[in-house]
A and B are shown apart, each in its own frame.
Chain A
């Protein structure tokens, strides 16, 4: 595959202080490739959904059932804001919109790290982690039209698993990179070997690119008419009983009622 007059590379290389070729980081040519791939996937899905016959959409009227607690919604939107900030500050300078991005980037990175740590603590100790875990049962749901999911569908679980892995990779590599810049708390050490540093930049860049692709899909699905009630539930917290019955198996997920 070619981009302009050169083949698309996955990684870029540089010479270290000894003149040896070492990894520098990810090739940002992939950014356009991933965005195009995500939009092709979105277009194909949109066409498929347009051709597919669907029954009436369940009503949002009637009894309201709790899907997301306020704290979980807050986590989601703080995470979204910090990821958005990280992407704008990380990607815009690369595509030519230059501004003083570095301080905003690491501050947003710290915010994301804290929120993710809190979310992990909450989900491990205070929530039902299994409701988001992918397992063999999810395969049955995918293959069967009749079996409905519990709180989360296999697609949602898959998205969550992918975002979790990529976010943890971005955070881990970002923290290493953070140690390599001056901050109010320490002066940079330049202690990492250049080969390791290149690998860290590569992991950070590649996981960022994959996250961009996933976020395109996530936002698309969040805005699809038949899925819009999930987005509403991430804002207001509730879904209706009709929406529950149409999309979930009430025996596998029994949400609490919320006051109307």
Chain B
């Protein structure tokens, strides 16, 4: 594979109105590249692994910034930086799960410029794919990460379908746990997509990580007030404490009914191409206390149905232990 010292020539558009950005996105279609903080952009371009004709810089669009009230909860503009989220009082008070997750993304420097929209929409970190190999995800006919000699320590346990890559987003797990919705706009109008449906698996969309189609822009994230101030737990296990992606992470939102667990949404990151909800654990946790006994009883359910590949078996006990820590109270 060739390597390159310089960036390729790419046109840059810097619209200040959302309507103009939508028009550009529509015109450019698959040849356009939406630019947030740029942290998952320049590597792709420099390696020529992605070759868009033009970038649409969304940072100058006021409507995409800010954290505000919505009809039922909170709305966060997709171009808000992760630092904005970490430092926001209301998010810390009511939706601390998201603040914790955002606070574990990459490094302080990256969080200063990285946006929520970018963190949610970033591409997978499978190194075979990111090296520019023509794998299934790149439109090819093979997965280099799942073979006898493949290095796949970071790859998935669940939901593999030809591709075994995982979602790298820390905020994604928190937003699925908070039952958030994604507001997606295009020149044809607006779509509201549940966070759980926003992230897509290889069985349906092998070349995409999200339900965003060409010409669409993720403009905002809405979090319903239903989960405000509930019991939260977030933990991310990575090889390094900063500037690394999750090997496995857990985001749990738990509504307590007195001393007992009522509704809960427990989501694992780093184990599937989408944030992976532990529905069986959620069902079985209802009516139980947050305790060591509950944690020990339910933790083994977390990895049921896992289909590990060569080097990622360690993720199964890791998942179970994270569930144990989330439920022990």
Q: Quick one: closest B residue to A13, CB to CB? A: B134
In contact, A181 and B142 (Cβ under 8 angstroms): no
In contact, A189 and B148 (Cβ under 8 angstroms): yes
In the assembled complex, how far is the CB of residue A9 from the closest CB belonging to chain B, in whole angstroms? 14
Query: Taking each of B139, B141, B143, B161, which has the highest tally of chain A beta carbons within 10 Å of its own beta carbon?
Result: B141
In contact, B161 and A102 (Cβ under 8 angstroms): yes
Contacts of B143 in A (CB 8 A): 188, 190
In contact, A188 and B146 (Cβ under 8 angstroms): yes
Considering the complex, which residues of chain B in the window 191-209 have a beta carbon less than 8 Å from any beta carbon of chain A?
Answer: 203-205
Return the contact of B147 from the options A19, A102, A189 (Cβ within 8 A).
A189
Considering the complex, which residues of chain A in the window 195-223 have a beta carbon less than 8 Å from any beta carbon of chain B?
Answer: 197-198, 201
How many angstroms between the C-alpha atoms of A182 and B1 in the bound complex? 28
Return the contact of B160 from the options A15, A17, A182 (Cβ within 8 A).
A182
In contact, A100 and B204 (Cβ under 8 angstroms): yes
Query: Taking each of B2, B147, B307, which has the highest tally of chain A beta carbons within 10 Å of its own beta carbon?
Result: B147
How many angstroms between the C-alpha atoms of A16 and B134 in the bound complex? 7
How many angstroms between the C-alpha atoms of A165 and B43 in the bound complex? 48
In contact, A14 and B146 (Cβ under 8 angstroms): no
Known: A19-B1, A182-B160. Is A14-B140 also a contact (CB below 8 A)? yes
Contacts of B150 in A (CB 8 A): 190
Q: Is B144 an interface residue (CB 8 A)?
A: yes
Q: Quick one: closest B residue to A200, CB to CB? A: B141
Contacts of A190 in B (CB 8 A): 142-144, 146-148, 150
In contact, A24 and B141 (Cβ under 8 angstroms): yes
Contacts of B162 in A (CB 8 A): 102, 181
Return the contact of A98 from the options B133, B139, B147, B204 (Cβ within 8 A).
B204
Contacts of A25 in B (CB 8 A): 141
How many angstroms between the C-alpha atoms of A14 and B1 in the bound complex? 13
Known: A102-B162, A189-B148. Is A201-B141 also a contact (CB below 8 A)? yes
Contacts of B147 in A (CB 8 A): 188-190
Contacts of A182 in B (CB 8 A): 146, 160, 307
Q: Quick one: closest A residue to B140, CB to CB? A: A14
Contacts of B1 in A (CB 8 A): 19
Contacts of A180 in B (CB 8 A): 142
In the assembled complex, how far is the CB of residue A36 from the closest CB belonging to chain B, in whole angstroms? 24
How many angstroms between the C-alpha atoms of A187 and B160 in the bound complex? 12
Contacts of A181 in B (CB 8 A): 162
How many angstroms between the C-alpha atoms of A189 and B148 in the bound complex? 7
How many angstroms between the C-alpha atoms of A201 and B140 in the bound complex? 10
In contact, B142 and A100 (Cβ under 8 angstroms): no
Contacts of B160 in A (CB 8 A): 182
Q: Quick one: closest A residue to B149, CB to CB? A: A190
How many angstroms between the C-alpha atoms of A25 and B140 in the bound complex? 9
Considering the complex, which residues of chain A in the window 65-109 have a beta carbon less than 8 Å from any beta carbon of chain B?
Answer: 98-102
Contacts of A24 in B (CB 8 A): 134, 140-141
In the assembled complex, how far is the CB of residue B189 from the closest CB belonging to chain A, in whole angstroms? 19
Q: Is A243 an interface residue (CB 8 A)?
A: no
Q: Quick one: closest B residue to A181, CB to CB? A: B162
Q: Is A29 an interface residue (CB 8 A)?
A: no
Contacts of B146 in A (CB 8 A): 182, 188, 190
Considering the complex, which residues of chain A in the window 96-153 have a beta carbon less than 8 Å from any beta carbon of chain B?
Answer: 98-102
In contact, A15 and B141 (Cβ under 8 angstroms): no
Considering the complex, which residues of chain A in the window 7-22 have a beta carbon less than 8 Å from any beta carbon of chain B?
Answer: 14-17, 19
In contact, A198 and B205 (Cβ under 8 angstroms): no
Contacts of B307 in A (CB 8 A): 182
In the assembled complex, how far is the CB of residue B145 from the closest CB belonging to chain A, in whole angstroms? 10
How many angstroms between the C-alpha atoms of A99 and B140 in the bound complex? 18
Q: Is A194 an interface residue (CB 8 A)?
A: yes
How many angstroms between the C-alpha atoms of A25 and B146 in the bound complex? 21
Known: A189-B148, A190-B148. Is A99-B142 also a contact (CB below 8 A)? no
In the assembled complex, how far is the CB of residue A233 from the closest CB belonging to chain B, in whole angstroms? 41
- Shortest beta-carbon contacts, A-B, top 10: A190-B147, A14-B134, A100-B203, A201-B141, A98-B204, A14-B140, A100-B204, A19-B1, A102-B161, A15-B134
5 other A-B residue contacts (CB within 8 Å) besides A17-B144, A182-B160, A188-B147:
A15-B133, A98-B204, A181-B162, A190-B142, A190-B147
Could you tell me which A residues sit within 8 Å of B by CB distance?
14-17, 19, 24-25, 98-102, 180-182, 187-190, 194, 197-198, 201
Q: Could you give 19 example pairs across A and B, Cβ below 8 Å?
A: A14-B134, A14-B139, A17-B133, A19-B2, A24-B134, A24-B140, A100-B204, A101-B203, A102-B162, A102-B203, A182-B146, A182-B160, A188-B146, A190-B142, A190-B146, A190-B147, A190-B150, A197-B141, A198-B141
Could you tell me which B residues sit within 8 Å of A by CB distance?
1-2, 133-134, 139-144, 146-148, 150, 160-162, 203-205, 307, 309
